[in-house]
Chains A and B, each alone.
Chain A
């Protein structure tokens, strides 16, 4: 009976949907192994999230609250999670593959002397072993791995697991004592957080994403991407080139090294479809491309294409959608 510990993702006062996707992963693993899962959250004050966390079907909700740990720094979180893992004899530790998950879990794996699989997209079970599928080579190869240590650490790609729906039943909540800080904590100081403001849906959660590339030519022009996104309730994304050129904040980069998205509808505007960008959009249901170059690689992965100048096509598209709704 291998018990699983899910590290929740809490940001801006909310339990993020990526947590629910990770719970789906954990419940699948629990069904395979006959174990159960608990969910753990860390932060300055989690009273506002306790309710949500307690309806995720977990054996237990474990809360670690201490001033100044909201930021999810590996140096701070690892000793706290490690203590919980050792006491609760958890064998599998899973977290969303968010920036916090990516920062914390490898360091945790190291302190638990555990092997780790990043960005897991699927899991199976055979002769008492778990097998994880994870993408490599910008999503061009799937690799199946087995972790051979007693404890296994994984980060989960949100877009590949349906979010767990809250249930009526409530899990018991336990608040834990915080162990003394790690030595490394003394050598790192948190200075501040600059939020990338957006009222739109989060990219990985969005049902519709409208992304712009270098073809937009300026940050000012990027507004038509935002207008289209707002009209249809979508999130806004961008290519690395658009971010590097300063059109938009880096938080909106989609691709191999940015956000992975899987909306029902992805609209790619003025972007070429470099393989690093396509790596982040492959699981979208429908891809639309608007590009003036009919040879642009984006047309090889899009379901519907329009070969046109975006400065003409996008305003027309906005008008047409307004007209028909």
Chain B
């Protein structure tokens, strides 16, 4: 099985409150922030690795390809995913601040023509833009089924389809998609039993979360194939459909008061705030 996992670099998600805005409101400033793979994309890589693990006699038939559209610096995040265990990387050069979801989807659609994967695994959203669009746009472009917000995935041993439990409002919906298909993953996908390929021994529990790249993994990653392409090479139409006009800071909340007793709290909620 061949899986493509599109990944994006984002400024350290734990420091999202440290992103600054230029005085004219036209630019974001990331000074002093580290870049990381988008957490949901790490989860997608983890999911891909769990799906192909122990599957089939011929492991060489399985391939997990990570691809990022971004500047040269995004090589680090592609390498990180290779170090996690992905087999092959691609970096399509482009300024990731100048892309909208449509351009990203178009670029990946071109790669799909080239690579004919069985499955595309993506994050449900990037935690920088929080837009949650690219997967659904890409699936629409390809005419593929989309199982969005996956919290659990089970595949039959022949890897021809996936049964996906989707985290949706009001509960969980389960769908089966026939490959080729696109799945976007939610946070629960990296809990220990969320991915079942009916192949890995049942007693073999995955650890919680996406795996870390190990030191030997990092050494190996440097020898794995990493192809560099441009949007032009792929013939991608780079016209955007959404234009950023400006950035601003939302009104901040500030800390209030610490109360000593529960009586005081109830009194404040009733008489001062009038919310009880």
A residues sitting closer than 8 Å to B (CB atoms) are: 11-12, 71, 73-75, 78, 98-100, 102-111, 113-119, 131, 135-149, 182-185, 187-196, 208, 232, 240, 243-244, 249-251, 256-257, 264-265, 275-276, 282, 285-288, 294, 299-307, 313, 316-317, 320-321, 324
CA of A256 to CA of B124 in the docked complex: distance in angstroms? 12
CB atoms of B257 and A305 under 8 A apart: yes
Per-position 1/0 for B233-276, Cβ under 8 A of A: 00000001111111111100111111101110110111001011
Contact of B130 among A189, A256, A285 (CB under 8 A): A256
CB atoms of B275 and A286 under 8 A apart: yes
Give 16 CB contacts A-B under 8 Å: A106-B137, A113-B241, A116-B101, A138-B13, A140-B250, A144-B246, A184-B145, A188-B145, A188-B178, A196-B171, A294-B258, A300-B253, A303-B257, A306-B259, A313-B262, A320-B262
Per-position 1/0 for B122-155, Cβ under 8 A of A: 0011011111111111011101111111010000
- Using known A-B contacts A111-B140, A188-B175, determine if residue A102 contacts B148 with beta carbons closer than 8 Å: yes
Stretch at the interface among B61-69, B186-194, B197-205: B186-194
Grouping DSSP codes into helix (H, G, I), strand (E, B) and loop, the B interface class, with mixed when no group exceeds half, is mixed
CB atoms of A324 and B266 under 8 A apart: yes
Grouping DSSP codes into helix (H, G, I), strand (E, B) and loop, the A interface class, with mixed when no group exceeds half, is mixed
CB atoms of B248 and A184 under 8 A apart: no
B residues sitting closer than 8 Å to A (CB atoms) are: 13-14, 16-17, 19, 21, 28, 100-102, 105, 124-125, 127-137, 139-141, 143-149, 151, 163, 166-178, 181, 186-188, 191, 208, 240-250, 253-259, 261-263, 265-266, 268-270, 273, 275-276
Beta-carbon nearest neighbor of B267 in chain A: A324
CA of A304 to CA of B133 in the docked complex: distance in angstroms? 37
Q: Which residues of B contact A109 (CB under 8 A)?
A: 133, 137, 241
Q: Which residues of A contact B259 (CB under 8 A)?
A: 304-306
- Besides the known contacts A106-B140, A193-B171, A301-B255, 17 further A-B residue pairs in the complex with CB atoms under 8 A apart: A107-B137, A115-B100, A119-B131, A138-B13, A141-B250, A144-B248, A145-B245, A147-B243, A149-B241, A193-B172, A250-B186, A251-B167, A282-B250, A287-B253, A302-B256, A303-B256, A304-B265
